[in-house]
Chain A
Amino acid sequence: MASVKFNQVTKSYGKQEVIQSTSFEIQDKEFVVLVGPSGCGKSTMLRMIAGLEEITTGTIEIGDTVVNKLPPKDRDIAIVFQNYALYPHMTAYENMAFGLKIRGMSKSVIEEKVMKAAKILDIEDLLDRKPKAMSGGQRQRIAIGRAIVRNPKVFLFDEPLSNLDAKLRGQMRLEISLLHKKLQATMVYVTHDQVEAMTLGDRIIVLNKGVIQQIDTPQNLYNHPTNQFVAGFIGSPTMNFMKGKIYQEDEIEVFISEDQSFRLSLNTVYGLNPYQNVILGIRPEHIFSSQTLLKNPLQFQAEVRWVELLGHEGFAFFDLGGQQLSARLRADELKDPPFSKKLYIEGERLHIFDADTGLNLM
């Protein structure tokens, strides 16, 4: 098994630099998820690890070997593609056996390895079928099977679940997670879906426009996003943001929205610069209708204009400080809009970002 190390790696297509200087290390046996919006360079990063894309500058190490010049087949990696890339004229068995056959293994060894992988993935009864005759989920299993028969040091996944429906996606997510425990291999998993990232990753690399925003555990990304991008990207529904300025009143910091219509006393001293332009961030699940359990309740009045019910809970939408905000509340706390309601922000859960740089100031 092996670690994967990026040392000041960049990637350009012509003049366009799609990955800016990037350094990080993925530990042996770690499950790391690369997440970011479409076009941010996730696939490019993964394909550079695989050797399908040349590295413009810097070095990539797998294990302790610099692999810049190694062809994909000598890197001891396997990749699972979004479109599965199963060979249509071969059966599932032949698809899984192909790489072994190419490497000149004997028939009996191949059979043993394929059957072992098939057992792990519970696909023994699919082995005679061609990809055409399988569902999306089954094809994805075969594609994963093809990856595990070779017992590679590093597994690479490029959005492997995005072609599946929501229910199957949830199920396969769990299976990939279990597979990681079973195989004890290093896995790098690319997705644009933050839910997948949060549920699968030991650590998550958040990427935007070819720049790494944060590398951290799912919990830390959620609780301590380093900037406004990560805060908005991680968590669903997305965090509420409000532009404004910080003022100092009687030793206490006060936030006043850009349009002056909303004033929030922060009840604490964060040591923010007075008159600094900031963006206030609060997640919908950190706005409550009662203050009893809150450490630092910050009260305000919401004029609820719209409500979305999801059974046991729902979202209240209201305008505040020139922004539309949402709060996640219990269904019995919601009624037919419009209505006025006293709500409390948990001050401990508040985020304040620099309006210019987007950096988290807390």
Chain B
Amino acid sequence: MKAFWNKISPYLIISPYIIHLGLFVLFPVIFSIVLVLHKWNIISPMEYVGLDNFQRLFSDRLFWKALWNTFIFILVHIPLQIVIALFLAYFLNEKILARSFFRAAFFMPVVISGVVITILWQQLYGLESGVINRMLISLGLNRVEWLSNPNIAMISIAIMATWKNVGLYVILFLVGLQTVPRSYYEAAEVEGASAWQQFRYITIPAINPTIFMVVILSTIGGFSLFIEPYIMTDGGPLNSTLSAMLYIYKQAFGYYHMGYSATLSIFFAIIIMGVVVVQKIFVENEEH
């Protein structure tokens, strides 16, 4: 009896995770692969359409626009995030006043719900009554159409997303910085390296693995941009903040194009994988 229990208990212990994985990961993945070849609006039965969904994808201008928007978001968000996070981490790693307070403060937005933050920033970005514009006006500057100008809206969202996530990357960089032995800096100081040269030639190469991890994490995070435009702009104005994820969501739950939405998801997943692989190759070349 005991032997039987010993054999079975490991499986019981991991079963909640396995059930979760099966129900919410494996099943949807397999199901969406099946859906790729079908047309389905949830109510009527599935209809086999072969590769029609793919044909549609390649001629869907809006999807390509959403993809482009997502890249714009990432191109603003990732460099901004890395530079700010590294900058903050660098100073939080020094002996400054109230260091633990600042460390906690920068991390706060990470744990607050994205919905809450988006609503908060919607207020801040308000055209007439938003705090930011009111400050600009009181400084004698022109107000900015943060969310209503199609050329600016995506950048506004990228700034907000950076504010939300930067704390996490500050922590990651702090951990990275703390692994660099003090004596490296002391050796460099004796050799005559300025603070910037020490940062450039010692710190950056030493935390290269952390930078790579941050780039990958924020790339994946950036590609899944959804809550912010969904709540703030619903993809507008003129579809300028329509992210790929938001478009996929709309295809599925706005128009009930389940088959087409699944096709987009899979295509999008392949693109993300491609980008990450390219980044990895790039970083590895840098190391050698």
Contact = CB atoms under 8 A, between A and B. Distances in A.
A and B interact: yes
Contacts, number: 58
Nearest to A74: B192
A14 to B, nearest CB: 14
B181 interface: yes
A99 B192 contact: yes
B199 interface: no
B206 A52 contact: no
A73 interface: yes
A79 B192 contact: no
B94 interface: no
A73 B189 contact: yes
Nearest to B286: A89
Interface residues of B, number: 18
A289 B189 CA distance: 58
B183 A99 contact: no
Contacts of A50: 186, 190
A89 B183 contact: no
B192 A89 contact: no
A89 B183 CA distance: 15
Identify whether the interface residues of A are mostly helix, strand, loop, or mixed: loop
B192 A102 contact: yes
Contacts of B202: 87
B190 A78 contact: yes
Contacts of B197: 102
B202 to A, nearest CB: 6
Contacts of A79: 186-187, 190
A247 interface: no
A81 B190 CA distance: 12
Interface string B175-198: 000000101101111111100010
Given A98-B201, A102-B197, A87 B191 contact: no
Contact of A102 (B186, B191, B208, B287): B191
Interface in A137-188: 146, 150
A72 interface: yes
Given A52-B189, A73-B190, A89-B208, A83 B287 contact: no
Interface in B205-240: 205-206, 208
A140 to B, nearest CB: 13
Interface residues of A, number: 22
A73 B191 CA distance: 6
A98 B186 contact: no
A278 to B, nearest CB: 45
Given A73-B192, A102-B192, A102-B197, A89 B187 contact: no
A208 to B, nearest CB: 25
B206 A88 contact: yes
Contacts of A146: 187, 191
Contacts of B188: 87, 98
A77 interface: yes
Contact of B190 (A52, A88, A90): A52
Interface string A73-97: 1000111010101011110000000
Contacts of B183: 81, 83, 85
Contact of B206 (A72, A73, A89, A102): A89
A15 interface: no
B194 to A, nearest CB: 8
Given A52-B186, A79-B187, A85 B181 contact: yes
Contact of B186 (A71, A81, A87, A103): A81
A146 B189 CA distance: 13
Contacts of A51: 190
A85 B206 contact: no
B184 A72 contact: no
Contacts of A88: 206
A102 B193 contact: yes
A26 B186 CA distance: 23
Contact of A85 (B184, B192, B193, B205): B184
B190 A89 contact: no
Given A89-B205, A89-B206, A89-B208, A72 B189 contact: yes
Given A73-B189, A88-B206, A89-B287, 5 more contacts: A50-B186, A72-B189, A81-B186, A81-B187, A89-B205
Interface of B: 181, 183-184, 186-193, 197, 201-202, 205-206, 208, 287
21 contacts: A50-B190, A52-B186, A52-B190, A72-B190, A73-B189, A73-B192, A77-B190, A79-B187, A83-B181, A85-B184, A85-B186, A87-B184, A87-B188, A87-B201, A87-B205, A89-B205, A89-B208, A99-B190, A102-B191, A102-B192, A103-B192
Among all A-B residue pairs, the 8 with the closest Cβ atoms: A99-B191, A73-B192, A85-B183, A89-B205, A85-B187, A72-B190, A81-B183, A102-B192
